Chains A and B, each alone.
Chain A
Amino acid sequence: MTAGSSPAAAPAPAAPAPAADVRRAGRWLFRAGVVFLCAWVLVPIYLLMVNALSAPADVTGFPKRLVPGFDPGSLAFFLRFQGVAEALWNSVQVAAVTMVLSIGIGAPAGYALSRFDFPGKGMFRLLVIMTRAFPLPLLALPLAVLFIRTGLDDSIVGLALVHTTLALPFAVLITFSLFSGIPVELEEAAWTLGCTRLQAVLRVVMPLALPGIAASAVFAFVISWNEVFAAAVLTIQNRTLTAFLLQSLDVSPLPLKFAGGAALVIPALVFIFAVRRYLFAMWGIANR
């Protein structure tokens, strides 16, 4: 990769050809570009973390230093703030329910799409893909009324149902691609070796699909964890972290905002890291 390790470049220190010069310049430009793009992504996060890890006085102070003070003050202030702990816990619960619902409902559908041809298959795919052309958070508006009637208003489950609508199409498409990636012959082999359909799924398909299913579950979790609009519309007492932060934007002091931002970002970083191998399997199929 580097100029030094390339066999052609190493033993020729004397008068390199102009073409080689151009190529070397191009390579440096390319590398500088990569560094710049990485910085573009990472530096803003770093700056948020600097704020989150500094004392409240530093956060409101001026000018800012570019290294964190490693003072737990802001985070402690955030965690002790009225309603934050509950909001965090609510976020986790809603995301967990969303995860279970979307995989529980989506995986069987993904399996059916990958293994069977049947009348109506196209219709179902259309329904799933249609969800993508709709601004889904708006669902919160009519559902707010519906939930009041059914007693689901301001509840974990109610919000999780809306978030599942967001996550379900992904779960269906992701599991569809996962199951499609497992050769049918493996299942058929299991049938000829004495398995029922269910046994074949449990003993052969599941062990192979599990990491991918876990990844799509994480994905569903992140979708719910990050969602702001529906959460803000549907919860009043039982606010999630995003709803809490949004609704206190005008009134909360800076350290609270930044520590809250960090609290939102850090799990996301971990999650994306956990599912990084599957990001492309997931999106590759979203193309079709």
Chain B
Amino acid sequence: MAEIRIRGVAKTFGSFTALHSVDLTIRDREFLVLLGASGCGKTTLLRIVAGLETASAGEVWIGERRVDGLAPRDRGIAMVFQNYAVFPHLTVYENIAFGLRMKKLPQAEIDRRVTRNAELMHIEQLLKRYSGQLSGGQRQRVAVARALAMEPAVILMDEPLSNLDALLRLEMRAELKGVLAGSRTTTIYVTHDQVEAMSLADRIAVMNAGRIVQADDPVQVYRNPAARFVGSFIGNPPMNFLPATPAGPGAWEVAGLRLAGPAGAAGRIEFAIRPEDLAPAPEGLAATVRVVEPLGPHTLVTAEVAGAPFRAVLDSDLRVAPGDRLTLAPAADRIRWFDPETQEALT
């Protein structure tokens, strides 16, 4: 059992606060992705769990043990680093065996584990090579094999795919998912790439400015952002936002269009819709097309609604040109509302 509990973990560097009292529980065998822009504190949080960084406050529990205060070696974790950190003075075999030798396992067991994990990562033919003779992708495989060979309760991954080129990243992503599903470890995976996060995660924790804004399964995070930030960060292109003014009980006016919305709110609120949840219709938001980008399966249209930029993903059969006027109707069940003060979602 390796449930990870993070309780009130905070970190300050001098006067800069990298983490504000973070609470998060990662269930046993869960694949949790920490997602956020660079500088949001996601790597700091991961390093605190690893023991490479000391928290300024709070507790970290792995299973039934409180581990903050323990050295990394005593936490039962393994880690994959962004730049792989494959030891250049050791062969691939010795790299994978490194942690096992530290544990003083018998040679036969070391052999068994090295071979098995090398096969798992398809690098069994590279065991005698040095890291200087490997490509980036191969080094990445060695780093993963080295972590898996420890048979840890917890694997921590810090942007492991970000140094690979696009095609290789796609391939490794699918492979990692398969391999880690087969192992029975709890995984924390840090990335700034939302597609990576979506495709890998059981649950995504979106971070912003040292706080976890939302932790939920990928579809929920996408469909029901708990905060304006999540909507604007996830999705490519991101959500559209427009100001809304009250128009009677439970009704709001958005750029001249009357829509049903939250009844409990007062004053100005924000209307939000994903670009793909818009369609041309006789009645809708009046938009002036500015840029048209055909993408194949659909066409990305950047328009102007009430003077603000507004994007729509439309069917590619639809012929539009800059300067055209469109009325775009939002799908009623996909409309979300946010409180501009708290930035939180309204229901």
**Contact present between A and B (CB < 8 A):** yes
- Nearest B-chain residue to A197, judged by Cβ: B71
Is A47 in contact with chain B by the CB < 8 A criterion? Answer: no
A176-228 contacts to B, CB under 8 A, are 183, 185-186, 188-196, 199, 204, 207-208
Decide: A193 and B89 in contact? CB cutoff 8 A: no
B265 to A: closest C-beta gap in Å: 48
- Nearest B-chain residue to A187, judged by Cβ: B85
Give the residues in chain A near B71, CB-CB below 8 Å. 191, 196
Decide: B102 and A185 in contact? CB cutoff 8 A: no
A182 to B: closest C-beta gap in Å: 9
Bound: A32/B99 CA distance, A = 57
Decide: A195 and B73 in contact? CB cutoff 8 A: yes
- With beta carbons under 8 angstroms apart, the residue of B50, B77, B85 that contacts A186 is B85
A209 to B: closest C-beta gap in Å: 10
Bound: A194/B104 CA distance, A = 10
B176 to A: closest C-beta gap in Å: 18
- Nearest B-chain residue to A193, judged by Cβ: B99
B125 to A: closest C-beta gap in Å: 23
Interface of A is mostly: helix
Decide: A186 and B79 in contact? CB cutoff 8 A: no
Is B51 in contact with chain A by the CB < 8 A criterion? Answer: yes
Binary contact readout B68-109 vs A (1 if CB under 8 angstroms, 0 otherwise): 000111000111011101011100000000110011000000
Is B305 in contact with chain A by the CB < 8 A criterion? Answer: no
Bound: A194/B72 CA distance, A = 7
Give the residues in chain A near B50, CB-CB below 8 Å. 188, 192
Known: A183-B83, A185-B83. Contact between A192 and B89, CB under 8 A?
Answer: no
A272 to B: closest C-beta gap in Å: 26
Bound: A190/B52 CA distance, A = 11
Decide: A191 and B99 in contact? CB cutoff 8 A: no
Decide: A186 and B102 in contact? CB cutoff 8 A: no
Is B42 in contact with chain A by the CB < 8 A criterion? Answer: no
- We find that the number of chain A residues with CB closer than 8 angstroms to chain B is 16
Is B146 in contact with chain A by the CB < 8 A criterion? Answer: yes
Is B273 in contact with chain A by the CB < 8 A criterion? Answer: no
Decide: A194 and B85 in contact? CB cutoff 8 A: no
Give the residues in chain A near B146, CB-CB below 8 Å. 189, 193
Bound: A66/B65 CA distance, A = 81
Give the residues in chain A near B82, CB-CB below 8 Å. 185
B56 to A: closest C-beta gap in Å: 16
Decide: A193 and B78 in contact? CB cutoff 8 A: yes
Is B150 in contact with chain A by the CB < 8 A criterion? Answer: yes
Q: Total A-B pairs in contact (CB under 8 Å)?
A: 59
Binary contact readout A33-72 vs B (1 if CB under 8 angstroms, 0 otherwise): 0000000000000000000000000000000000000000
- With beta carbons under 8 angstroms apart, the residue of B72, B88, B99, B150 that contacts A188 is B72
Most-contacted residue by chain A among B71, B73, B98, B103 (CB, 10 A): B73
Decide: B85 and A191 in contact? CB cutoff 8 A: no
Give the residues in chain A near B51, CB-CB below 8 Å. 191-192
Give the residues in chain B near A190, CB-CB below 8 Å. 87, 98
Most-contacted residue by chain B among A186, A189, A191, A208 (CB, 10 A): A189
Give the residues in chain A near B98, CB-CB below 8 Å. 190, 193
Decide: A207 and B89 in contact? CB cutoff 8 A: yes
- Nearest B-chain residue to A185, judged by Cβ: B85
- With beta carbons under 8 angstroms apart, the residue of A183, A193, A207 that contacts B102 is A193
Decide: A196 and B73 in contact? CB cutoff 8 A: yes
A73 to B: closest C-beta gap in Å: 49
Give the residues in chain A near B73, CB-CB below 8 Å. 191-196
Decide: A191 and B87 in contact? CB cutoff 8 A: no
- Nearest B-chain residue to A208, judged by Cβ: B89
Bound: A90/B51 CA distance, A = 50
Bound: A207/B90 CA distance, A = 10
Known: A199-B102, A207-B89, A208-B89. Contact between A192 and B78, CB under 8 A?
Answer: yes
Give the residues in chain B near A195, CB-CB below 8 Å. 73, 102
- Nearest B-chain residue to A189, judged by Cβ: B85
A121 to B: closest C-beta gap in Å: 14
- Nearest A-chain residue to B102, judged by Cβ: A194
Binding site for B on A (CB under 8 A): 183, 185-186, 188-196, 199, 204, 207-208
A-B contact pairs, 11 of them (CB 8 A): A185-B85, A186-B85, A188-B50, A189-B79, A189-B85, A190-B87, A192-B78, A195-B102, A204-B89, A207-B89, A208-B88
Closest CB pairs A-B (n = 8): A194-B102, A193-B99, A189-B85, A185-B85, A191-B72, A192-B79, A207-B89, A194-B73
Given A192-B156, A193-B102, 15 more pairs with CB closer than 8 A: A185-B81, A186-B85, A189-B146, A191-B72, A191-B73, A192-B79, A193-B73, A193-B99, A193-B150, A194-B102, A194-B150, A196-B73, A204-B89, A207-B89, A208-B89
